[in-house]
Amino acid sequence: MSDPLVEAASEIIGDSLRDIRTAAEGMSPEGLNWRPAGDDTNSIAVLVVHVLHSTRWWLSVATDAPAPDRDRPSEFTSRATDASELLEFVDEMSAEFLRLLADAGDFDAGASRTSRPSYGPPETVTAAWALLHALEHLREHVAHLQLTKQLWEARGSSG
């Protein structure tokens, strides 16, 4: 991995995955599956599963790798039986992210890529756009799950 953009993306992804681990470690199943404002909001488990599948998908688009199978609607119904199960999934996806980036070779940021989401029409974007979107979407949901954890913890101390 010698491309500075890919190297920077790898660092940001690594930081994000550590943040996800920190948020999920030691949480009870109840906390991992708690939806802060009812069924219309997402639990930590949902956010983790969704953002990892999405990141893998957009990294595949960015690097022109084969698109993984993805059932986006099921991501939003995910439940965790315990933190270790969720963290194992984080580790599996982390390895996949690193492989995709390592295999990127000479990353052509301006290359045209066509995404073929299962939930909408194909989009044509540049490889750079797909990579940056993977990162911004990942960081957005990391912040969501950190806030959800804070709300969960405050729940217990609010008396």
For the chain, how many residues are written? 159
pLDDT score, position 119? 74
pTM of the model as a whole: 0.93
pLDDT score, position 105? 80
Interior CA angle at 88 toward 23 and 46, to 5°?
Answer: 55
Q: What residue segments make up the domains of the chain, in order of their start?
A: 4-157
Place of tokens 């698109």: 67
CB-facing half-sphere around the CA of 71: CA atoms within 13 A: 4
pLDDT tens track, the chain, 159 positions: 579 999 999 999 999 999 999 999 999 999 999 999 999 999 999 999 999 999 999 999 999 999 898 999 999 999 999 999 999 999 999 999 999 999 888 899 999 999 877 777 888 999 999 999 999 999 999 999 999 999 999 987 654
Under CATH, what is the fold of the domain 4-157?
Four Helix Bundle (Hemerythrin (Met), subunit A) (1.20.120)
20 in Cβ contact with 94 (< 8 Å):
no
